[in-house]
Amino acid sequence: MKHLSSLYDLTAADVADIFALASELKAKRTRGEADARLSGRLLAMIFEKPSLRTRVSFEAAMTQLGGASTFLTSEEAGLTGREALADVARVLSGYADAIALRTFSQQLIEEFRDAASCPVINALSDERHPCQALTDLFTIQETLGELAGRTLVFVGDGNNVARSLAIATALTGMNMVTSSPAAYAFGKAFLKELKRRHPQAKVTSEADPARAVRKADVVYTDVWASMGQEAEADRRRKAFAPYQVNAALMAQAPAGCRFMHDLPARRGEEVTDEVLDGPQSIVFQQAENRLHLAKGLLAWMLEG
């Protein structure tokens, strides 16, 4: 059974297959051609945190492919004490064809996956955001072509999105440079595991953002305080101030360099309006691609 609890669940060939399906389904939608290949299928979603893109893109993906979706908060699903996690997973697997979870704990998703008898998708945890990273590389491939050898420079917090991007770049032969304050860089344990799983991974760090972006094909950033870290926002704002992606930083990158952000953005913090709304930004194409990638992923998981 196919799961996506983390990008460690996928091979490079899986990623290529998902991208091919996403691309085919995107082209069909552009032509106005219907495709009901998931007719009669149900996606259940359990979210502990808010979501615009992930929730609605999965709902739209199921609807457009002829299936349906149902949305539950973790309280509604019984995960906050009404019922054992494994019982919820077993019961829900009897109704749904796939289950997407957005949680604080990565371990919760893995325990749920182990008890479920249908595919389980990580819709974001504190550790990972695999659907986002897949969408991001799909968007880069669509915009710049061949991924291998391209350089993605992530400026900011070494968070869930950055970790998933690191695994995704390792799977596709890209280079990734991270530029973060020392206290917010990737942890040693994460880098060791990445190298163990993908010895060819080319993930390096450069603390000075102006130096980091010099060879960037893409400059990427995300919020400085993720969901659940609101109490640290003031401290983080101070630590990350030199890491804002603004016009001065983009001027240090090659002229054709693109700007990406998973959104939601804190305009004026990690990125300025001039960059987010500027000619190098592909963030709204990236956001739309969450839909096409969700369709490719669901088709790959449920039809294979």
Q: Which does 52 bind (CB under 5 to 8 A by kind): ligand NVA, ligand CP, none?
A: ligand CP
Closest CA to 155 of 145, 170, 146, 165: 165
Residues 6+ apart with CB under 8 A from 48: 73, 74, 79, 102, 103, 104
Asked if 69 and 58 touch (Cβ cutoff 8 Å), the reply is yes
Asked if 51 and 124 touch (Cβ cutoff 8 Å), the reply is yes
DSSP state of 281: B
Among 10, 61, 161, 218, binds ligand NVA (CB under 6 A): 161
Q: Element (H or E) spanning 80, and its range?
A: none
Count residues near ligand CP (CB under 6 A). Answer: 9
| Candidate ranges 18-26, 138-146, 154-162, 294-302; the one touching ligand NVA (CB under 6 A) | 154-162
What string marks each residue from 122 to 141 as x (binds ligand NVA by CB under 6 A) or -? Answer: --x-----------------
| Candidate ranges 6-14, 15-23, 60-68, 156-164; the one touching ligand NVA (CB under 6 A) | 156-164
| Candidate ranges 49-57, 65-73, 112-120, 187-195; the one touching ligand CP (CB under 6 A) | 49-57
| Candidate ranges 72-80, 167-175, 218-226, 250-258; the one touching ligand NVA (CB under 6 A) | 218-226
Question: Is 52 near ligand CP (CB under 6 A)?
Answer: yes
Q: Which of residues 89 and 176 has its CB atom nearest to ligand NVA in the complex? A: 176
- Shortest distance (Å) from residue 113 CB to ligand CP: 19
| Candidate ranges 25-33, 45-53, 72-80, 241-249; the one touching ligand CP (CB under 6 A) | 45-53
Q: Sheet holding 42-47: strands in order across? A: 68-73, 42-47, 98-102, 120-122
Asked if 136 and 150 touch (Cβ cutoff 8 Å), the reply is no
Place of tokens 């369709």: 295
Q: Which two tokens stand for residue 147?
A: 């991924």
Asked if 286 and 136 touch (Cβ cutoff 8 Å), the reply is yes
Strand pairing of 218-221 and 258-261? parallel
Asked if 180 and 203 touch (Cβ cutoff 8 Å), the reply is no
Question: Is 159 near ligand NVA (CB under 6 A)?
Answer: yes
Which residues, 231 to 290, sit near ligand NVA by CB under 6 A? 262
Q: Which two tokens stand for residue 19?
A: 């991208």
Which residues, 253 to 272, sit near ligand CP by CB under 6 A? 262-264
Q: Which does 144 bind (CB under 5 to 8 A by kind): ligand CP, ligand NVA, none?
A: none
Binding site for ligand NVA (CB under 6 A): 124, 159-161, 222-223, 226-227, 262
